[in-house]
Structure 1
C-alpha cells in the first residue's frame, strides 16, 4: 500500500510529458495478503496527439529478487571468508616472530625470575592471539584440521569441564548422551571450540538462570532439519547433537543473521564465535541449524556424518629426541620468520642456511645439496612460490627432504602439489620450539 502513491505519481508525471522511466519496480499485495515484488512496464495510451491514459504489464519478480539477494549474500560471505583467511595467515607469520623470540629470550633469562615472568605474559598473550587466528581460519574453512574417529560424548564432557567454573548456580546442566553414539571424523580441538561457543552462547541467553540441555543421538538420515546447507546432505548415518537453553530466544532478524561474522546482540560484542563454529562444522562435512522463538529459548542442532572407522585407542607418546648436527636450509620471504627459525634451529645444534626467496633457496640448495639434511620451505612467497621451489628441488635431488611451512593448514595448501607424495613433513605457523623439534625428529627418523 505504501507504494501506491509513488506509482500514481509516476504515472501522472508521465502523462503530463515528463521523462520518467517506463519500467520500474514496486511492491503489491496479493489476494491472500502476501506482499510480492512487481516489475511494471508502462506505456501511454494516445488518441492522435492527445494522451488519454496509461497501461502497464506487471511481472511478479519476487523469486528473481530472492535469487539475486541470495547470490549477493553468497558473494559477500565468500569475500569475507577470503579476507578472514588472508588476515589469519599474516597474523600467524607475525605471531611466529613474537612467540619464537619470546621463547628464545625466556631461555636467556633463566636467572632472572621477574624478567622471565614478563616473557611468560608475552607468550600467554601470543597464545591467545593464536587462538583468535585459529577462529578466523576456522571461519574461512582453512583452519588446522586433523580429523580422527572421535566420540562427541567425550568431547562434550571435556568441554563442560572447562566451562564448569563459569557456570552460575542458577543454571542447571542436563545431559542426555546416547552411550552407543557412533564415532565421527572430528578434529577434537576444533569440535571442542564449537561446543564451547554453543555453551557460552546458551549461558549468555540465560541471565536469570535456566537449564542447559545437551543431547546426542544416532540418526539414519538428515532430512528433519532445514537451514543453510541442510539440503546438501545426502541420506545416510549421522550423529545429531542438540544444545538447548531456556533463555530469551531470538527474533527472526537475529536468527537470519546469527552466523554472520562479527554480528552479535551482546553489548560489547564478540560475534565471531558462531561464524567460526559454522565454518568448522562445514569443514567436517556437517550442518549447524538453529531453532528459536523469542521468549521460548533456542536449540542449536549439529549434524555430523558417522565415521566408518572405529575409535582409536590412546597410546603413550614416545619421548621426543633432538638432533644436534646436520645442516638445515630455511627458505622464507619473511625476514622475522627466517631469523626466528634460524635461531631456533641453531639452539637445537644445527648449522643453518637462510634464503630470502625461492630463487635464493634453489641456489643455496644446489651449492650445498651434499650437506643439507633437510629444507624448511615456506609455501606462500612472492616471486617463485613454494610449490614451484619444491618441484625444482625434487628435480635436482629426488631424495631431498622438505618440511613445508604455512600460516594455513596443511590440506588447504598442499592439495595442488603435483609431487605431494614427496613432502616429508608439514608444520603450521606459529610453531613452538617443541613442535619444530618433534617435526624434524619425525622427518629425520630420530
Structure 2
C-alpha cells in the first residue's frame, strides 16, 4: 500500500514546518506546503494528495473554507486546522463537507487519529460510490422477463423483454414447449419445479436456471414461478425471471479480485516483516564478516587459518545473500549485476538442490565446456533455479523420476520461439531444467506466469511469476516445452556477458596497507558495527569518534568539527535517523556543509540514498560490509 501524501495549507511557516515534521514522524508523505488558498488549489490539482490539512484562517485572498470548496470539487478530503472559530465560520465550514477538525494546539495522537479517520472515511466513500455504480449498471441492463405457461408446459404468453433477452421475435415461441428453451443440464430441475407447482395451487418456487438464447448461448436466469392456474384471466404458471448472467460474472470477478487483494495484503505484511528481519540480520552479519576480515588482514599469507576464516566469510556472504532475498521480497532489494558463470553457480548449489527435491527423484547435471559468462545477480538467479527445481520435483508427484539441469550456449534471435520475454540477439547462454513428470495441458501452459495462478494445493502462485520478473530484469527470455504425460522443460536464455571473469569468493585478498590520519566519526546504534568500523579505521591510522544515535552524533561532530575528516553514518537509528542528521549537517552553515559523509544501511542504495543526493558529498555502503569495503569507500570519500 502506498504512503498517504498530505498537503499542508498553513500561512504560518513555523507551524507548517512543525506539522510537516510531525507527519513525517507518523509515516506520512508531505506533497507540499501552501500558504495561500490560491496556491493550495493549484498545488492540489497538480499533485493530487491523499488528504489536505487546511487552516481555516489564511491571509489575504482566498480563505481556507473557499479553498476547501475547490478541494471538494477535486474529490479531495479536507481536515480543518483552527485555533478559534465563531458560529458563522463553523456554519460555512460545514458546507464544504470537511472530514474532521483539529483545534490548535493539537497533540500528535489527536493528529494521527484524525488523519486516519479522515483517510478511512474517504476510502470507504470511494468504495461505496464504486459499488453503487456497479450495481446501478447491473440493474439498468438486467431487464426482467415474464412468461406464462399453460397446464401442458407450453408458452402461452411472453413479455417484450423476453424477446430482447432471448433473441426471438415477439410471439415466436407462443405455443411451443418451454422445456425446449431450457439448458439440457437444467432439464431435471425445471421439470421437477413445474410438476410440483402443478400439484399445489397458489404455491411459489424460486430457482436459478439456464435458458437458451436463440443463438444457442445459455443465459442464467433468477426466476420465481407461481401457480396462478386458478386466477381468472391467467390460468397458468407465471414465471418472473431476471437475467443475472452479467451480474453473476461480476460477482465471480469480485470474489476473485477480493481473494487476490487479500493475498496481496498478506504478502505485503510478510514483506514488511521480511524487510525488518533482513535489516537486523545484516547488522549481526557485520560482526561476523568484519571481524573475520580484520583477522585475515592480521594473518600471514601462508597461515593455515586463512582457509578457515575464508569459510567464515563465505558463510556470512551466503547469509547476506539470503537477507538480500528477504529485501527483494519486501520490495527493498535491487539487482547486483556482475559477470557470472552459470555452470559454477549451479554446481555450488548442488547439495542444496538435493535437499529440496523428492527422495524418488534423481538429479542430473550437464555442463557444456568453456561457456561464456552472463551478467547477472547471483542471488536472484539462485532463486530462479530453486523455483524451477522445486516445480520439477512437485511435477513428479512422489513418483520415481529424473530432473536434468543443463547449462549450455545456443544462437538466438527475434525468431527464436519463446513463451515469455524477448530472446537475446546473437549467442545466448541457457539454463535448462527438464523433468519426467506429468506435464501440462495447453490451457495451463498459457497461464503459468500469471500471478496467483497455481496448480498446487499449497502453492501461492508466485514462483514462476517471480522467475519471469527476474528474467525480465536480466533481459532474458523463457522457452517452455510441455505435453500431458511427457514432462516439462524450462529453458532460460541469458545474453552473454562482455566481462572476462566472474565473482570469486575464494580468491585471497591482498593485505590492505592504506595509511592516513585525522578523525573519522562513526554514528551507528549497533555496537558490533561500531566496533568493526572503529577497529578497521584505527588500523589505517585514523582516530575514531563513535556515537550511538543521531543526536549524540550531531553533538560529537559539533564539538570536534574542525578535526573530523569524514562521517560514517547509519541511516536507521533511534532518536534521530541518519537522513535527519545529514540534513542538520548540511543546513548548519559551518564545516558540516562540506564534510564527506558515508551513508550505511542494510537496505539498498537505490531505495535509501536516492533522495539524499542533494546533500552531496555523500557515498553509500551497504551492510554487511567487510573491512576492505569500508577502507575503499573512506579513501574515495577523502580523495586518497
What whole-Å deviation, never above 9, does each CA across 1:286-311 have from its counterpart, x for those lacking one? 5667655564333234356x69xx82
The DSSP-based 3-state class of the residue aligned with 1:373 is: strand
CA distance in 1: counterparts of 2:465 and 2:390, whole angstroms:
12
Name the residue aligned to 1:434: 628
User: Unpaired segments of 5 or more residues in structure 2?
Assistant: 1-184, 232-236, 355-361
Question: Aligned partners of 2:488 and 2:587: how far apart in 1?
Answer: 58
Rg larger in structure: 2
CA distance in 2, matches of 1:178, 1:114: 32
CA distance in 2 between partners of 1:351 and 1:303 (Å) = 51
Distance 1:244 1:428, change over 3 A: same
- Summarize deviations over 1:323-362 as a string: whole Å, max 9, x none: 3532111122334433443344345443222222223222
Instruction: Answer whether contact 1:249 1:292 (CA < 8 A) is retained.
Output: no
Residue 411 (structure 1) shift = 1.6
CA distance in 1, matches of 2:432, 2:212: 40
Aligned to 1:241: 430
Give the 5 Å matches for 1:129-148: 129-140=319-330, 142-143=332-333, 145-148=335-338
Distance 1:444 1:223, change over 3 A: same
2:4 aligned partner? none
Q: Residue 193 of structure 1 is aligned with which of 359, 382, 405? A: 382
Alignment partner, residue 277 of structure 2: 87
Contact 1:221 1:236 in 2 (8 A): yes
| Counterpart in the other structure of 1:213 | 406
- Report whether the alignment pairs 1:351 with 2:540: no
SS in 1 for 2:335: coil
Structure 1 pair 195/103, CA: closer, same or farther in 2 (3 Å)?
same
Matched, 1:406 2:595: no
Whole-angstrom distance in 1 between the partners of 2:383 and 2:595 = 40
Structure 2 SS opposite 1:419: helix
Offset at residue 378 of structure 1 (A): 1.1
SS in 2 for 1:416: helix
CA distance in 2: counterparts of 1:117 and 1:157, whole angstroms: 24
Q: Does structure 1 conserve the Cα–Cα contact (< 8 Å) formed by 2:353 and 2:389?
A: no
Contact kept in structure 2, 1:97 and 1:340, CA below 8 Å: yes
Higher relative contact order (CA 8 A, sep 6+): 1
Counterpart selection for 1:326 from 518, 524, 527: 518
Q: Distance in 1 between matches of 2:429 and 2:578?
A: 41
Q: Secondary structure at the match of 2:612?
A: coil
Secondary structure of 2:600 counterpart: strand
8 Å CA contact 1:292–1:299 kept in 2: the answer is yes
Structure-to-structure mapping, 1:21-420, within 5 angstroms = 55-60=241-246, 61-62=248-249, 64-65=253-254, 66-100=256-290, 126-140=316-330, 142-143=332-333, 145-148=335-338, 150=339, 155-162=341-348, 173-174=365-366, 185-187=375-377, 189-190=378-379, 193-194=382-383, 197=386, 201=390, 208-209=401-402, 211-217=404-410, 219-221=412-414, 224-226=417-419, 241-249=430-438, 280-281=470-471, 283-284=473-474, 292=482, 295-302=485-492, 311-312=498-499, 320-396=512-588, 397-419=592-614
How many residue pairs get aligned? The number is: 407
Q: Look up the match of 2:74.
A: none
1:444 corresponds to: 638
Q: Could you tell me how far apart the structure 2 residues matched to 1:258 and 1:87 are?
A: 29
With over 3 angstroms needed to count, the CA separation of the structure-2 counterparts of 1:93 and 1:287, relative to structure 1, is farther
Kindly state the Cα deviation for residue 88 of structure 1 after the two structures are TM-superposed. Answer: 1.5
Distance in 2 (alpha carbons) for counterparts of 1:412 and 1:352: 29
Q: Show structure 1 runs of 5+ residues with no match.
A: none
| Counterparts in 2 of 1:409 and 1:155: CA distance versus 1, 3 Å | same
Name the CA distance, whole Å, in 1 between partners of 2:219 and 2:525.
54
Q: CA deviation at 1:367?
A: 2.4
* CA shift for structure 1 position 240: 7.4
Q: What is the TM-score with the length of structure 1 in the denominator?
A: 0.65
Q: Is the 8 A contact 1:214 1:244 kept in 2?
A: no
- Shift of the 394–122 alpha-carbon distance from structure 1 to 2, 3 Å rule, reads same
Please report how far the alpha carbon of residue 414 of structure 1 lies from its aligned counterpart in structure 2 after TM superposition: 1.8
1:162-185 Cα offsets, whole Å, 9 max, x none, are 3678999x7654557998x8x865
